[in-house]
Amino acid sequence: MNTLCHICSYNNKIKDIPHSKCDVMWVGVSLKKCMEPKDALSPLSSSGNLLTKIENTYPIAKYYRTNILKCAPIDITGKLRNPTHQEMNNCYSFLEKEIQYASPKIVFLLGGLVSKFVLNKLDVHFNSLPVNYQYQVNTINGIKYVAVHHPSYINVYKKHYENQYIESISKLIKNCMEDKIDLELPTNPQLSDFQQYIKRMKSIRNFNTTDCFYECCLFAEECGEVISAIRKNTHGGSIGSGSSKGNIEEELADVFMYVCSLANMFDIDLEKAFREKEEKNKKRIWKKL
């Protein structure tokens, strides 16, 4: 029994610590009424059924389901309610033990409430869940934590996006299980190697690979940072109080990454495009400035 929590004084339902390892851990909010801890995110529920669909896309992985709260928080009318911050805090040590013993490769935090609480505990800033289902991976002590929408939210409000939801999370599981983290360039890379590297990197990190306009906005921001870095590194440039000189090298590298990314989005071979464009340039008459 969790003696810190008033709920447990009425409902002694602390879940057993897992005795076997898992690859993927799902962390929900709490139990439903009249459920045992072993039934966390039960496949018989609509939420659990959606998780089962995701699991079936990569059945060779070992999955484990749990909740941040080990009991069912009930309000004075007898209805299920969201747990308070203090209640989640009282139960957090049990989740830490579950993670320690199960040693998952990836932990999916289901819904904004759980995501914000757990990530804040891990000193990771959480703002909100992405509307495009491109979820961010946070690696902490070798374990990947991913904040995703709760399956109940998808079932109730975004049913027509169910396939996109499943595909996005399944992709993360597959990448994690196949350990697609070995990003390396060849010893003497060609321009095409850089494009392939960026394509692979964005897929692994679940970055944007489809929204060209959004990518252009990010590209423009990086170009602005190059200008700022150069200004701060020239004698004539002004540097505000407390500012440090920008790193031109890093900013140019960022710009190059976005150039490769945009080329990938439009299926452009940069080396081929450069050669063809330069052939046109050779035929032009250039005037000195």
Q: What is the pLDDT of residues 196-229, one digit of tens each?
A: 889 878 876 778 888 999 999 999 999 999 998 8
Highest mean pLDDT among 17-26, 67-76, 185-194, 274-283: 274-283
What tens digit of pLDDT does each residue of 104-133 get?
999 999 999 999 999 999 999 888 899 889
C-alpha–C-alpha distance, residues 90 and 88, integer Å? 5
Q: What pLDDT is stored for residue 267 in this prediction?
A: 93
Taking the whole predicted model, whether its pTM rises above 0.75 is answered as no
Q: Is residue 185 included in any domain, yes or no?
A: no
Same domain? 203 vs 153: no
Q: Is residue 228 included in any domain, yes or no?
A: yes
Length of the chain: 289
Q: Which of 41-50, 98-107, 158-167, 241-250 has the lowest mean pLDDT?
A: 241-250
Q: What is the rounded radius of gyration, in angstroms, for the C-alpha atoms of the chain?
A: 24
What is the Cα 285 distance to its own chain's centre?
Answer: 50
Residue 231: CATH number of its domain: 1.10.287.1080
Number of structural domains the chain divides into: 2
From residue 125, alpha-carbon distances to 111, 118, 141 in Å are 15, 10, 16
Q: Is residue 229 included in any domain, yes or no?
A: yes
C-alpha–C-alpha distance, residues 246 and 229, integer Å? 4
Strands 143-148 and 106-110: parallel
Q: Is residue 245 included in any domain, yes or no?
A: yes
Same domain? 168 vs 218: no
Same domain? 220 vs 109: no
Average pLDDT over residues 35-54: 78
Pairwise pLDDT comparison (221 vs 36), residue with the higher score: 221
DSSP 8-class letter at 211? -
Q: Is pLDDT at 246 greater than 80 in this prediction?
A: no
Q: What pLDDT is stored for residue 280 in this prediction?
A: 93
Last residue of a domain, one of 177, 211, 237: 177
213 sits in which H/E element: helix 212-232
Q: Is residue 196 included in any domain, yes or no?
A: yes
Which residue segment(s) compose the domain that 136 sits in?
A: 24-177
Which residue reads 């009282």 in tokens? 90
Same domain? 45 vs 169: yes
